[in-house]
Structure 1
Amino acid sequence: MEDLKSAMEEHMEQMADLVQKFSAELRTGLRPAYDNFVGFFHAIDWKEPWLMGLMGFHVVLLLLTIFSRKNVNFQMCLFLLALAGVYFAENFNRLLSENWKSFAGQNYFDPSGVFLSALWSGPLLVIAILILVNTLFSLCYLIVRWKKAELRHRARVARKQD
C-alpha cells in the first residue's frame, strides 16, 4: 500500500511540474515562435528564380483546385497528386540537397527537411485539405438530393396506394 501511495505522490509531483512548465510557456506567449518564423523568413532569398517558380506552382495549383471544384474526379486526381508530392518529399529533399549548387545560391535542404516541409509539403497539404473539404460538401449535397428524391418517391407510392 505504501508503494502505491509513493507512486501516486511521485506521479502528482510530475504532473505539477508539467503544468508549471506549460503555464510558464503560455506566459511567454507567441513571441519565441514569432521570432523563429521571422528568422526563417529572412534567411531565405525570395528572389531566387526556383523559389519564385515554386510559389507560382503552388498558386497555379490552388487556382486549378478552386476552378475545378465542381469536377470531383479531377479533384480526386489533384488530391492524390498532392498527397504523393508530400509522400515523396523526403526523397525530393535528398535529391535537392545533393544538387543544390546547380540551381540555388545556398543549401536550404537540411537533413531534417524543415525547409522543404514548409515550402513544399505545407502548401500541398493545405490544397489537399481544401479538396477534402470540398469533397465532403459535395457528398453532403448529394446525400440531401438522394434523401429528397427518396421522400418524393415514398410520397408518390403512398398517394397511389390511397
Structure 2
Amino acid sequence: MEDLRSAMEEHMELMADLVQKLSSELRSGIRPAYENFMGFFHAINWKEPWLMCLLGFHVFLLIVTILSRKNTNFLLSLFLLALLGVYFAESLNKFLGGNWKEFATQNYFDPSGLFLSVVWSGPLLIIAIIILINTLFSMCYLIVRWKRAELRHRAKLARNKQD
C-alpha cells in the first residue's frame, strides 16, 4: 500500500511540474507573438494608396458577401474566385516583388510571401470561410424544409389511405 501511495505522489509531482512548465511557456509564448505582430503592423505604411485600395476591396467584398447571402449561386462563384485569388498569391507575390517600385514606397514582398499572405490571402480566406458557413446554414435549412414536406406528404398519404 505504501508503494502505491509513493508512486501516486511521484506521479502527482510530475504532473504538477508539467502543468507549471506548460503554463510558464504559454505565458511567455503569447508575449513574443504579440510583439512580432505589433512590429509587423508598425512596419507598414497603411496610408499608401494601393494598400488603402486593397483594404477597401476586401471590405467591399465582405459587404457583397453579406448582402448576397441568400443567392447561393453567386456566393459559389465568389467562393471560387476567392480561392483562386489565394491559389495565385505566390505568383502575385513574385510579380509584385519585381515591380514594387512602380506603386509602393518600400518592398513589402518578401520571398516567403508573409506580407501578401496577411493582406491578400488572409482576408480572402476569411471571406471564403464566411461563404462556406453561410452555405452550410442554407443547406441545413433546405434539409429541414425538405424533411417537413416529406412528412406532410406521408401524413397526407396516410389520411387518404384511411378514407
Q: TM (normalized to structure 2)?
A: 0.85
Which position in structure 2 is the counterpart of 1:40?
40
Per-residue deviation, residues 57-94 of structure 1 (Å, max 9, x unmatched): 00000000000000000000000000000000000000
Mapped pair 1:101 → 2:95: no
Which position in structure 1 is the counterpart of 2:128?
128
Mapped pair 1:137 → 2:158: no
| SS of equivalent residue, structure 1 residue 84 | helix
The aligned amino acid for 1:125 is L
Unaligned 5+ runs, structure 2: 1-17
Mapped pair 1:53 → 2:53: yes
The aligned amino acid for 2:73 is N
Structure 2 CA distance for aligned equivalents of residues 27 and 146 of structure 1: 50
Structure 1 CA distance for aligned equivalents of residues 110 and 125 of structure 2: 20
| SS of equivalent residue, structure 2 residue 101 | helix
Structure 2 CA distance for aligned equivalents of residues 105 and 139 of structure 1: 47
The aligned amino acid for 1:49 is P
Mapped pair 1:147 → 2:147: yes
Structure 1 CA distance for aligned equivalents of residues 129 and 98 of structure 2: 31
Structure 2 CA distance for aligned equivalents of residues 118 and 93 of structure 1: 12
Structure 2 CA distance for aligned equivalents of residues 100 and 21 of structure 1: 45
Cα distance 1:21–1:107, how it changes in 2: closer, same or farther (>3 A)? farther
Structure 2 CA distance for aligned equivalents of residues 22 and 103 of structure 1: 46
Which position in structure 1 is the counterpart of 2:73?
73
Number of matched residues? 145
Unaligned 5+ runs, structure 1: 1-17
| SS of equivalent residue, structure 2 residue 47 | coil
The aligned amino acid for 2:37 is F
Q: CA deviation at 1:25?
A: 2.2
Q: CA deviation at 1:24?
A: 4.2
| SS of equivalent residue, structure 1 residue 30 | helix
Per-residue deviation, residues 93-152 of structure 1 (Å, max 9, x unmatched): 000000000000000000000000000000000000000000000000000000000000
The aligned amino acid for 1:56 is G
Structure 2 CA distance for aligned equivalents of residues 122 and 19 of structure 1: 33
Which position in structure 2 is the counterpart of 1:111?
111
Structure 2 CA distance for aligned equivalents of residues 23 and 47 of structure 1: 39
Q: CA deviation at 1:21?
A: 7.0
Structure 1 CA distance for aligned equivalents of residues 120 and 28 of structure 2: 30
